[in-house]
Structure 1
Amino acid sequence: MVGWLVKLVVAFVLLSLLLVLVFRFVPPPFTLTMLGDVFAGRSVTKTWKPLSAIDPDMVRAAIGGEDSRFCTHSGFDYQAIGAAVVRNAKGGRIRGGSTISQQTAKNVFLWQGGGYFRKGLEAWFTLLIETAWDKRRIMEVYLNVAETGIGTYGVEQGARRYFKHGAGTLSEREAAQIAAVLPLPKKRAGVSPTGFTRRYARSIQSRIGVVRREGLDSCLR
């Protein structure tokens, strides 16, 4: 029994290392989240775009909305995690402290949802991609596999769905509205948002300038 368990662990480690190395150069063809859409009877739309072909304001919106210390942390933002723990202990809306690196690891290699087991795997894959990929590759993969609407994946298809043009020519407002959808893509509207999503998009739009001025996207230039 112990021998089989050791073999299983070794096989998992080797497979995960292989996948991370392959996806350093090859776009991930499909994810478990996409598979869930297929099983639910929904079509999946996605178009891979290199980071150089994505409007820089979309990158800044992602950093401003999701992970302001993306360029300086090594995969985990312990300050954000600590702040999330304090907020959640007070009750109300549950918020996480996941970085873009963690979200990329989850989106590419794992499934949606919580649980300590999945979070442990997420930490493992986060360490791997932070070691094997550079920040540009992490951001590139994130912006291409993140769900931007029901059955819609990547900012290219998100831009086409909401604004009828590609992600290479986004305005600050458009980039901010896509970024505002990312935490809850099946429940938030990327076009004509209302309520919290509208306020959140406006907040992200204001942060785009902060990211630009303070060089928070310097590792991607």
Structure 2
Amino acid sequence: MAATRRASRTSSTSPKSRKRRWGPWHWAAYVVTLLVAGVLATQLYYFLQIGWWVRFNPQSTAFMRAAQARLHESDPKAVLKHEWVPYDQISRNLKRAIIASEDANFVNHDGYEIDAMLGAWEKNQKKGRIVAGGSTISQQLAKNLFLSSEKSYLRKVEELSITWMLEFWMDKQRIFEIYLNSVEWGEGVFGAEAAARYYYGIPASKLSPWQAARLAVMLPRPRYFDTHRNSPYLSQRAGVIARRMGAAELPQ
């Protein structure tokens, strides 16, 4: 009998029986750890990639890849219209028009315009959905480089994080140069050079004030205005931007 009890005790304390089974809280902690690690790894990738782009030009962006996928649905051989040109080969008219239209305080802020973001928040609350973002040029570039056109508060948080990285690594002129060369200007049309040639048949360096103003107005809805070039709003708004261009401050 004693031998039986000793055997029973030995069996109950075997290594296998001493292993603890994971409960729900253990699995939850494990999943959270994986998620946090994934987020940190993604942020590190963004940070290092932006550091690389301080000296080397991006070959593509998230928006470019999305546009390429859309084009391939109807034409597998379709290619994007895109040509990189140096900052000083882009018309000052276009630079002034975009700053006047998109981000008048671009050279002075640190990537964010709090008043604009609060205004967008109030508008979204009134509409019950996200209709405005209050994004600066730096924020727009963050979205174009890495994110999607989806409108959500989570995406906005990602955008703010990437914007900080852009402002940490780059001066304003470099941010603006990448923006001018990568922003969407129509279905499959990216960058100032491609836009100038697509809409006016001239290089970006030759854009007139009026042409530049019209291109600037297109930026919030480039694919729409690509197919609605005679829109009265486009001409009316371009006139407003043309009058504001003289006061636009450019990064040096």
5+ long unaligned stretches in structure 1: none
Matched, 1:21 2:51: yes
The offset of 1:188, in angstroms, is: 0.8
Alpha-carbon separation, structure 2, partners of 1:47 and 1:9 = 33
Superposition map of 1:1-221 within 5 A: 1=30, 2-40=32-70, 41=72, 42-87=78-123, 94-189=131-226, 192-211=229-248, 216-217=249-250, 220-221=251-252
Amino acid at match of 1:158: A
* Distance of 2:36 and 2:114 partners within structure 1: 32
- Structure 2 counterpart of 1:171, which letter? S
Q: TM-score, with normalisation over the residues of structure 2?
A: 0.79
Shift of 1:87: 4.8
RMSD of equivalent CA atoms? 2.2
Query: How much has 1:192 moved relative to structure 2?
Result: 4.9
> SS of the counterpart of 2:225?
coil
Native 8 Å contact 2:187 2:226 kept in 1:
no
- The equivalent of 2:20 in structure 1 is none
Q: Deviations 1:41-81 (Å, cap 9, x if unpaired)? A: 25311001111111111111110000001011101111222
Contact persistence 1:105–1:126 (CA under 8 A): yes
- Number of corresponding residues: 215
Distance in 2 (alpha carbons) for counterparts of 1:191 and 1:4: 47
Letter in 2 for 1:31: T
Asked if structure 2 preserves the Cα contact closer than 8 Å seen for 1:76 and 1:98, the reply is yes
Q: What letter matches 1:98 in structure 2?
A: S
TM normalised by structure 1 equals 0.89
Which of the two has higher C-alpha Rg? Answer: 2
**Structure 2 unaligned residues grouped into runs of 5+:** 1-29, 73-77
Are the structure 2 counterparts of residues 174 and 62 from structure 1 closer, same or farther at C-alpha, using a change threshold of 3 Å? same
